[in-house]
Chain A
Amino acid sequence: MSASSEPQRVADVAERAVVLPKHLHARPAGQVAQAAARHHATTIELVAGDRRANARSVLAVMALGAVTGSEVRVTVAGSDADEIADEVVQILRSPDSAA
């Protein structure tokens, strides 16, 4: 995260905040973790309240216990961070992905 002091090779970091339209159930947690697996060179972290999860772990994402109306912060570090952050936000915002 401190790589912004390096002008020629700035680490690609993107941050988003999402207010959940539905609980972060097993299915969207799985979709987030599948996205993390597809982009395995990039680190995706979710924060909900005082809990933090690496998106690679579907079980850790479920254990966030993030409920409807709560805010989840998404931090993506690595190549294509913006695109990947948008992809994760799309999953979290999509109400029909909640099972």
Chain B
Amino acid sequence: MVGIVLISHSSRLAEGAAELVGQIAGNARVVPAGGTDDGRLGTSTERIASAIAAADTGDGVLLLPDMGSSVLSALSLLADLDPAHDGKQIRLADAPFIEGAVAAAVAASGGLDLATVASAAEEARDVRKL
């Protein structure tokens, strides 16, 4: 199953988003990566890297950043990874954080592949609530 990493400046936001997603897509593999190592607001490439390792079951991992430096941290981490070396399939989604996470987790838990899970997250940009 495709794993999902939720990257936020706030550990509580990432954990709460993972909790909410778990209610809707129960068996999805969703790992929060929020805050800094010393518990402050911010992002940590180390925390993102360990969340990727925890989310990865061999079918790939989708990263969902909230905004700003979450995106930049994810990008710098991806730039440092050598995909041919470690064999990991990792994608960064350009999607709203909560809606994208819910859509991606539902798709992942239904057994869809990484490209389709990423599309599900990115389609969330175009879905209205009302």
A binding-site residues for B, Cβ under 8 Å? 26-27, 29-30, 33-38, 40, 56-60, 62-63, 65, 99
Question: C-beta contact mask, B88-130 vs A, less than 8 Å → 1, else 0?
Answer: 0000000000010011001101111000100010011001111
* B24 interfacial contact with A, CB 8 Å: yes
- CB-based A-B contact count at 8 angstroms: 57
Q: Main SS of chain B's interface residues?
A: helix
Q: Are A37 and B106 in contact (CB under 8 A)?
A: yes
Known: A58-B102, A63-B130. A38 touches B124 (CB 8 A): no
Tell me, in angstroms, the Cα distance from A62 to B116 when the chains sit together.
20
CB atoms of B23 and A34 under 8 A apart: no
Closest to A39 in B: B110
B63 beta carbon closer than 8 Å to chain A: no
Q: Who on chain A is nearest to B112 by CB?
A: A37
Quote the shortest CB–CB distance from B88 to chain A (angstroms).
Answer: 23
CB-based contact A58/B106 at 8 Å: yes
Q: When the two chains form their complex, are residues A57 and B109 in contact, meaning their CB atoms are under 8 A apart? A: no
Q: Which residues of chain B are within 8 angstroms of A34 by Cβ–Cβ distance?
A: 25, 106, 109-110
CB distance from B51 to the nearest CB of A (A): 22
Q: Provide the bound-state CA to CA distance between A57 and B117, in Å.
A: 11
Interface size on B, residues (CB 8 A): 20
B129-A37 in contact (CB<8A): no
Instruction: Tell me how far the C-beta of B62 lies from the nearest C-beta in chain A, rounded to whole angstroms.
Output: 14
Contacts of B102 in A (CB 8 A): 26, 30, 58-59
**Bound CA span A26–B123, Å:** 17
Question: Can you give 13 A-B contacts (C-beta < 8 A)?
Answer: A34-B110, A37-B111, A38-B110, A38-B111, A40-B110, A57-B127, A58-B103, A59-B103, A59-B123, A62-B129, A63-B129, A63-B130, A99-B24
Contact indicator A29/B127 (Cβ below 8 Å): no
For the complex of A and B, 3 pairs with smallest distance between CB atoms: A37-B110, A30-B24, A59-B127
Q: Which residues of A contact B23 (CB under 8 A)?
A: 26-27, 99
Minimum Cβ distance to chain A for residue B3 (Å): 16
Q: Kindly report which residue of chain A lies nearest to residue B105, judged by CB atoms.
A: A30
